[in-house]
Amino acid sequence: MIIDIHGHYTTEPQALHTFRDKQLAGLADSARKPGSADLGITDETLVKSVEPQLKFQKERGGDLTIFSPRAGGMAHHVGTEAVSLEWTRICNDLIYRICKLLPDSFVGVGQLPQSPGVSPKNCIPELERIVKELGFVGVNLNPDPSGGYWTDPPLIDKWWYPLYEKLCELDVPAMIHVSSSCNPNFHHTGAHYINGDTTAFMQLIQGNLFKDFPTLRFVIPHGGGAVPYHWGRYRGLAQDMKRPLLKDHLLKNVFFDTCVYHLPGIELLSKVIPVDNILFASEMVGAVKGIDPETGHHYDDTKRYVDQLRLSEKDRLKIFEGNARRVYPRLDALLKKRGR
């Protein structure tokens, strides 16, 4: 079974964008706020909207995508905490509806109603709702709700602990995923995303978070940003800080996906990071949509790269399915219930 753990709803109906425009306009003029959170989006419209994902899933040999709201659309730096909560619930509810309509193709992961300077514990009610009521198997956690200015404490700070406690209680992993950038120095997908991945890993090196939360699990997307390429640097920094070896310090709790858009990058990832810590993902219809003129295939057709790795069938199965079922135990339970 081919499980893609990193999919975003990037083909939303126009009605969602219209609502968001009105919601943000209402920050300046309350008379311009939308009168209702009912978007008027039919089930038929939702199914049609994800036809691009379904087409690529079928053509590329995928079976199931872990699906979440558009990462850049979370935009936690925009508006108030109340605006973030309303927007988050609307986006999560759309994911839920898609997963109910197309359960063989999509399983839900949610966003959180984060807001700069607001305690992460305020996100707990929505986290509980999406897991207990909507059946989501994970969550996206933004380490920088400020949108490129990093004004909140690092991930190892006790500021985040109430949320971590709930993640452990619910036994769901968090993908560490920033949102859009409002800092003109950082292009959101080309710089801010990769900065976020790399920064999160370095923060984790600096602390002892998993001593306090031994069952907490993080997925760092986009192949870990700069981490695999500079593995020697991070090993050396950890050593200088008198931290344990990285395999003992972090790799029981931190995992990486394969959203790396060329074969040499995937080869490097597989050589540096243990196979037990690599989960298949593509983020298709996401950050990079074009066709590579050197190969004639889409950049984000990452299965094609993994297929070319020199792996045993046992290890290949781990990357495509086994590791996802282990890191996302609620996904494993759901699939077993369905006989898959």
3-state secondary structure of 199: helix
User: What burial class does residue 252 get, using C-beta atoms within 10 Å of its C-beta: 0-12 exposed, 13-18 middle, 19+ buried?
Assistant: middle
Cite the DSSP H helix spans in 50-118: 51-59, 71-74, 81-101
- pLDDT at residue 125 in the model: 98
Amino acid at 180: S
Q: Which of 283, 294, 313, 321 is catalytic?
A: 283
Give residue 35's pLDDT.
75
> pLDDT tens, position by position, for the chain (340 residues)?
999 999 999 999 999 999 999 999 998 888 888 877 789 999 999 999 999 999 999 999 999 999 999 999 999 999 999 999 999 999 999 999 999 999 999 999 999 999 999 999 999 999 999 999 999 999 999 999 999 999 999 999 999 999 999 999 999 999 999 999 999 999 999 999 999 999 999 999 999 999 999 999 999 999 999 999 999 999 999 999 999 999 999 999 999 999 999 999 999 999 999 999 999 999 999 889 999 999 999 999 999 999 999 999 999 999 999 999 999 999 999 999 999 9
What type of residue sits at position 107?
V
Q: Would you state the pLDDT for residue 293?
A: 96
Instruction: Note the pLDDT of residue 42.
Output: 97
Residue 283 is among the residues annotated as catalytic for this protein:
yes
Instruction: Identify the pLDDT of residue 38.
Output: 83
Partners of 66 in beta bridges:
107
d(CA 186, CA 301): 25
Q: How far is it, in rounded angstroms, from Cα 90 to Cα 315? A: 39
How far apart (Å, rounded) are the C-alpha atoms in residues 313 and 139?
30
Q: Are 140 and 111 in contact (CB under 8 A)?
A: yes
Q: Which amino acid is at 190?
A: G
Q: pTM of the entire structure?
A: 0.96
Contact of 192 with 222, CB cutoff 8 Å: no
Asked whether 293 and 276 are in contact (CB, 8 A), the reply is no
Q: How many CB atoms lie within 10 A of CB 68?
A: 27
Q: How many whole angstroms separate alpha carbon 271 and alpha carbon 265?
A: 10
| Residue 224, C-beta contacts closer than 8 angstroms, at least 6 positions apart | 197, 198, 201, 256, 269, 273
CA atoms of 111 and 129, how far apart (whole Å)? 12
Interatomic CA distance for residues 66 and 109, integer angstroms: 6
